[in-house]
Copies of this chain bind each other. A is one copy, B any other.
Amino acid sequence: MRADAVRNREAVLAAAGRLFDAAADPERVSMDDIAAAAGVGKGTLFRRFGDRLGLIRALYEQRSVELHAALATAPGRPAAQRALDLLEAMLRFKLDNRVLALALENAGAGSPYRNEAYDRWHALLTGLVAEARGPESADYLAHVLLAAVRSDLVEHLRDRSDDRWTAGLRLLVRSVLSPAEGDGTTPIGRAGPGASAAPTASPEPAADRPHTR
């Protein structure tokens, strides 16, 4: 890569980072804005990053180095603890990089799920869920745990105190990552043994009639 190309790449990433940090809404940061702020032609942006999503992804990768550290703290700890660490790290990242994270989740052709990074986190979490509570529906539960720290939800609950966030996350992870009880066909109402507040079962499944598709 030519020297000026490297220089410009840096300039663009820096400018984009600044603009996203300052913006209230990712959609208010246009490619023209970024080009102008970087002191670079628009063509250069697209030549280097392909399209808007490419630029956002590059910026995300650059900033998420710290996030990957959470992955490294692996060894002997219980799966549930590791899952909680991971989710808390993601939460913190999304609080610190609000607009960028929002941009990434919205920019992908409509879906946050068409994203290599997501797949990595999801695979990791799926493993932890399976380890903690068994393989049944582990992948779906992993999706749900990740959805619990989706950018726009974080944004929606932004003014919450850290304590409240941590408490909610902790409760969630503890609930979901407790080993499965029962056989999956028991009506939901009954919780574990000794649950006093649990409503006594009043069957009526009515749940799974095959719905139209």
Which residues in A have some Cβ–Cβ distance to B below 8 Å? Answer: 25-27, 76-81, 84-85, 88, 92, 95-96, 102, 106, 109-113, 132-134, 136-137, 140-141, 143-144, 147-148, 150, 152-153, 155-157, 159-164, 166-168, 170-182, 184, 187-189, 191-202, 204, 206-208, 210-213
The answer to whether A202 touches B152 (Cβ under 8 A) is no
Say yes or no: A170-B188 contact (C-beta < 8 A), given A95-B213, A211-B163: yes
Q: Known pairs A113-B153, A140-B172, A166-B208. 19 more at Cβ < 8 A? A: A77-B202, A78-B201, A78-B202, A81-B188, A84-B188, A96-B213, A106-B106, A111-B152, A136-B167, A140-B157, A141-B171, A144-B144, A144-B147, A144-B148, A166-B207, A179-B196, A181-B197, A192-B197, A194-B200
Task: Report how far A103 CA is from B108 CA in the complex, Å.
Answer: 15
The answer to whether B170 touches A177 (Cβ under 8 A) is no
Task: Report how far A93 CA is from B20 CA in the complex, Å.
Answer: 35
Task: Report how far A200 CA is from B179 CA in the complex, Å.
Answer: 12
Main secondary structure of the interface of A (DSSP, over half): loop
Task: Report how far A144 CA is from B79 CA in the complex, Å.
Answer: 20
- Which of B79, B132, B199 contacts A79 (CB under 8 A)? B199
Say yes or no: A164-B211 contact (C-beta < 8 A), given A152-B113, A198-B179: yes
A-B contact pairs, 9 of them (CB 8 A): A85-B207, A95-B211, A96-B212, A137-B172, A143-B157, A160-B211, A161-B211, A174-B191, A181-B197
Shortest beta-carbon distance, A104 to chain B, in Å?
A: 13
Chain B residues near A150 (CB, 8 Å)?
Answer: 147, 150
Shortest beta-carbon distance, A203 to chain B, in Å?
A: 9
Task: Report how far A114 CA is from B114 CA in the complex, Å.
Answer: 24
- Which of B95, B102, B137, B213 contacts A110 (CB under 8 A)? B102
